[in-house]
Chains A and B, each alone.
Chain A
């Protein structure tokens, strides 16, 4: 029985000893520094001005990151499953995708999607499919990260002992059922840390969308600096906002990892 179940049974919460060695000291120190810096920033009119200027960019950054991450999670899973498939066509297709995309810098992919694929797609469909602007950034980032994630999923699936698949198949499950009910639930738990890292990396890499002139956090920061020539306050604010977001995500990822750990 789990500790929680025991507590539920006894009807009240038992006193839990504080696990001092597991306290995330680094986070506490960082939070202290953060509060100090944050306080001085929020009480300074100069910084507040920057924040007010870039706040819409921050929203776009988060929006693009989460949508692209969601797409990359799904597409990456599909390519990851193809990478472990015994079907030579599926395997070859996903290997080709991973090797090509992994070998091209994200910056180049975003430029290519933004200035080659989407304008051509628009012209070819007489403007019916117009993915220019934000969709292009989402697409470029998702395409790139799907390739990384495919490799993460593949590693996770291959790390599950062969006996698990054999046991599932010997019970009469087909390959898909065994994958879905036995292999993937275990594999995904194992790859949560790298998947979480990718969310954080993606948030930072989303700043590359500035090259197709989208007003994300970085682009708005640059705009502010070019207008006011206050580079110190401008880039301090941008860096601080990215740091706050990645730290929050890092904590969220940790909580999720703990929640789903195999007992």
Chain B
């Protein structure tokens, strides 16, 4: 992480409502290149919404989000910006009609204009990296949840994104599947990938997070380092939340 650089994600006074429900309220934060930021908070607190605003899966009502120098709200070509932002979903969202390999090849060909052969090479590399090289020819329905999520990560990484967003990547997994996915994420953090992660995996927070943000009722309660979070959180709301999830 390098704080002397300009932030790669800059979120400024962002508001987002669904009807009368205010999901994100006046949130501002920066993410620097190579940084791993974990967003925690109670469910319905706006964590996923904030994450989805970063690649414009949700459009914001007010404020500004600048990713890698492009204003998300003003850019003419959102697809170009999105290609630089990998996203991993809670429910994997693999394409069920395509094999693992084809899942990873598709966007490389269509978006990055890579030749099929080159895209397949990269796909095999990425599958090996996430530890399931031998599953390249399986359909998603033939894979376990953990394997599906690793294919989803490989699919995002094959685009060679500058940023990776993780939206509760382990919360739909059986307990024994979680470690494999977290290991992949830890490796990625170690390699210096910029990551914004919505997760309650405190082990991951301890091992990999540079900063942790607690989001409640759409607002940031506190942004702090993991050390401070676990030893001496400043806000009472943070203490209260941690006492609920650390047992």
Contacts and interface: CB of A to CB of B under 8 A. Distances in A.
B107 A173 contact: yes
A232 B82 CA distance: 69
B89 A167 contact: yes
Nearest to B56: A169
B9 to A, nearest CB: 15
Interface of B: 55, 57, 79-80, 82-87, 89, 91, 93-97, 106-107, 110-112, 137, 139, 141-142, 152, 155-156, 159
Most buried by B among A167, A185, A186, A262: A167
Contact of B93 (A166, A186, A262, A263): A166
A172 B97 contact: no
A9 to B, nearest CB: 13
A204 interface: no
B111 A177 contact: yes
Interface residues of A, number: 21
Contact of B83 (A171, A185, A262): A171
Interface string A181-210: 110011001000000000000000000000
A172 B139 contact: no
Contacts of A177: 110-111
Nearest to B87: A170
A165 to B, nearest CB: 9
Given A166-B57, A170-B55, A172-B111, A262 B96 contact: yes
B83 A172 contact: yes
Given A173-B111, A186-B95, 8 more contacts: A163-B89, A169-B57, A169-B79, A170-B82, A171-B156, A172-B82, A182-B95, A186-B97
Contacts, number: 68
A163 B80 CA distance: 20
A186 B83 CA distance: 23
Contact of B97 (A168, A169, A171, A262): A262
B97 A185 contact: yes
A174 to B, nearest CB: 5
A164 interface: yes
29 contacts: A1-B137, A163-B93, A164-B95, A166-B93, A167-B87, A167-B89, A167-B95, A168-B107, A169-B57, A169-B82, A170-B87, A170-B156, A171-B83, A171-B106, A171-B107, A171-B111, A171-B155, A172-B83, A172-B112, A172-B159, A173-B110, A173-B111, A182-B95, A186-B95, A189-B97, A262-B141, A263-B139, A263-B141, A263-B142
B68 to A, nearest CB: 13
Contacts of B142: 263
Interface string A124-167: 00000000000000000000000000000000000001011011
B96 A186 contact: yes
B80 to A, nearest CB: 7
B187 to A, nearest CB: 21
B79 A172 contact: yes
A181 B110 contact: yes
The 5 closest A-B pairs by CB, nearest first: A172-B83, A167-B93, A171-B107, A163-B93, A170-B87
Nearest to B91: A163
B179 to A, nearest CB: 24
Interface in A204-263: 262-263
A189 B98 CA distance: 13
